[in-house]
């Protein structure tokens, strides 16, 4: 069973719809015991880092997530769901799950023409081949909406990068965990391809 | 680098597609779900649905349309027209809309922008502004005025001041719709778009007046717009979305080509 982590009663319908479109029937889940039984897990982003971490802790989902990731269950984090997998986020000065050691930082530009949030379509350049990123061609673009970006300590965790006045990590991963800053569920055919890859992934790299 | 976006706007009345010319004499041109899917498959970057249904008892038809589209179209979907409350915004979001456009109701009660931003996040709140040229005067120092009710009622509000207020209240994006240019096919109102785009830090979508691909190029360059909205030029089959995007790409703009 594939579960979509529903930790803040957020609007997750677009993720579920896109999964259904590629044949992945996913259910919402806010229960740690159920999470431990999952075959694979999608961890979408809702709201801000501070409130997301509070909700996860209140429900005991933070511990359950660490446990399933240790067990080898394939997990896909999206946007904020990816950001809380690092060690700390500048957003609300929040300690996060520490699955991928590193920081989440806010974009800061001197140039006034660079808008924050980074919103729209941008190129994803794959640095390390990964089963979930299979089929992404040079020049393929994905849809982004975010003001913060991940900065893993180890380059080994950086799977793909995107340029917005300098490169930032747009896909991070470690073992059976992968997270994207972009929204595959809003990224047309290439995004659906990524979700289909995740649906078939056994968690091995 | 971010790509410039091409956005198609579909006006929907009683669940059917319509296109307004100068906001009056709308005429039916088809099924919104089929059209949305066609554009999506042809590489459209984002879709806007504008509900122009007159009677409020038919509003739920729009939720069905949004739901049907969200099941088949996997790009950002923005919905507006008649959004008066956080409840309206939330209902549309649950039906599958990503972004919510507020317009007249925000002019009447600007706090609506703050409330929606709080409830669904700044990045999902789009302030859509219908704007007419009035010439520089003490009340409208920018020379442009906000109008409502599909362009029929002037509000006295200065367009530039309203754009800046909208951003401050939490709008994550602005649509600049020129009433003067709308339906003319003579091109976007470049000066207006540039003036607002250069005064705010949120993305700006130019709307109204597109007739040929060069118009999109002009507003995305001279007009400093982040996105260009098209309607009749694609609805009537004069151009395909992919043709517009290929043209912009060939002219050297950063554009997503599928």
pLDDT at B28: 55
pLDDT at B21: 47
pLDDT band at A10 (very low <50, low <70, confident <90, very high): low
Q: Which residues of A does the annotation mark as catalytic?
A: 79, 183, 185
pLDDT at A172: 98
Which residues are within 8 A (CB) of B72 and not within 5 positions of it... i.e. 6 or more apart?
A21, B33, B36, B37, B40
10-residue mean pLDDT profile of chain B (258 residues): values are 96 80 54 93 96 75 93 96 92 92 96 94 94 96 93 93 97 96 94 97 96 98 97 90 98 96
Task: List, for residues A32-72, the tens digit of each pLDDT value.
Answer: 999 999 999 999 987 789 999 999 999 999 999 999 999 99
**Angstroms from B176 CA to nearest CA on chain A:** 17
* A145 part of contact set with chain B, CB < 8 Å: yes
Best of A113, A120, A140 to disrupt the B interface by mutation (most B CBs within 10 Å)? Answer: A120
* A112 part of contact set with chain B, CB < 8 Å: yes
Average confidence score pLDDT of chain B = 92
pLDDT at B232: 87
**Angstroms from A200 CA to nearest CA on chain B:** 20
Q: Which residues of B does the annotation mark as catalytic?
A: 11, 130
**Residue B161 phi, psi (nearest 5):** -60, -40
Distance CA B127, CA B168 (A): 11
pLDDT at B150: 75
**Angstroms from B74 CA to nearest CA on chain A:** 5
CATH topology of domain A2-200: Rossmann fold (3.40.50)
Average confidence score pLDDT of chain A = 94
- Planar angle of CA B104, B110, B115, nearest 5 degrees: 110
Distance CA A40, CA A35 (A): 9
CB B122 within 8 A of CB B146: no
Q: Does B172 sit within 8 Å of A120, measured CB to CB?
A: no
Distance CA B28, CA B19 (A): 7
Least CA distance to B99: which residue of chain A?
Answer: A145
The conformational region for residue B192 under phi > 0 = left, psi -120 to 50 = alpha, else beta, is: alpha
* A25 part of contact set with chain B, CB < 8 Å: no
pLDDT at B165: 98
Least CA distance to B1: which residue of chain A?
Answer: A164
**Where do the domains of chain B lie?**
5-250
pLDDT at B214: 98
**CATH number given to B5-250:** 3.20.20.70
**Angstroms from A112 CA to nearest CA on chain B:** 7
Q: Does A143 sit within 8 Å of B76, measured CB to CB?
A: yes
Please report residues of B whose CB lies closer than 8 A to that of A115. Answer: 201-203, 226
Least CA distance to A12: which residue of chain B?
Answer: B94
Strands B24-30 and B16-21: what pairing? antiparallel
pLDDT at B22: 45
Q: Does A17 sit within 8 Å of B96, measured CB to CB?
A: yes
């Amino acid at each position: 069973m594939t579960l979509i982590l529903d930790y803040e009663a957020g609007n997750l319908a677009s993720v579920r719809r896109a999964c259904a479109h590629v044949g992945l029937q996913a259910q919402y889940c806010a229960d740690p015991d159920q999470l431990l039984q999952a075959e694979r897990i999608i961890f979408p982003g809702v709201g801000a880092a501070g409130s997301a971490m509070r909700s996860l802790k209140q429900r005991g989902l933070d511990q359950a997530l660490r446990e399933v990731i240790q067990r080898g269950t394939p997990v896909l984090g999206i946007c904020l769901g990816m950001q809380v997998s690092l060690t700390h986020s500048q957003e609300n000065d929040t300690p996060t799950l520490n699955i991928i050691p590193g920081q989440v930082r806010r974009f800061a530009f001197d140039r006034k023409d660079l808008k924050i949030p980074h919103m729209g379509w941008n190129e994803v350049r794959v640095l390390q081949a990964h089963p979930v990123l299979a089929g992404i061609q040079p020049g393929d673009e994905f849809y982004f909406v975010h003001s913060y970006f991940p900065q893993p300590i180890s380059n080994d965790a950086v799977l793909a990068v995107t340029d917005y006045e300098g490169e930032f990590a747009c896909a991070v991963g470690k073992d059976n965990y992968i997270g994207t800053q972009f929204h595959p569920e809003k990224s047309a055919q290439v995004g659906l391809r990524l979700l289909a890859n995740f649906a078939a992934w056994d968690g091995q790299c | 680098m971010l790509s410039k976006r091409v956005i198609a706007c579909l006006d929907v009345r009683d669940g059917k597609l319509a296109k307004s010319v100068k906001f009056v004499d709308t005429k039916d041109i088809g099924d919104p779900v089929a059209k949305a899917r066609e554009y999506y498959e042809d590489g459209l970057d984002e879709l806007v649905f504008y509900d122009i249904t007159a009677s409020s008892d038919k509003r739920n038809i729009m939720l069905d349309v949004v739901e049907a589209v969200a099941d088949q179209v996997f790009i950002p979907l923005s919905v507006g027209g008649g959004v008066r409350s956080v409840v309206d915004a939330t209902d549309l979001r649950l039906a599958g809309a990503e972004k919510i456009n507020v317009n007249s109701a925000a002019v009447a009660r600007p706090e609506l922008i703050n409330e929606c931003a709080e409830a669904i996040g700044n990045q999902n709140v789009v302030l859509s502004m219908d704007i007419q040229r009035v010439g520089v005067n003490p009340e409208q120092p920018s020379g442009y005025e906000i109008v409502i009710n599909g362009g029929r009622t002037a509000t006295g509000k200065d367009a530039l001041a309203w754009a800046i207020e909208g951003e401050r209240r939490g709008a994550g994006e602005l649509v600049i719709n020129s009433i003067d240019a709308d339906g003319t096919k003579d091109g976007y109102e470049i000066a207006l778009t540039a003036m607002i785009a250069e005064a705010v830090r949120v993305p700006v979508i130019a709307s109204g007046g597109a007739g040929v691909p060069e118009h999109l190029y002009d507003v995305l360059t001279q007009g400093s717009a982040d996105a260009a909205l098209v309607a009749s030029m694609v609805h009537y089959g004069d151009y395909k979305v992919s043709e517009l995007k290929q043209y912009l790409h060939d002219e050297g703009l950063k554009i997503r080509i599928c």
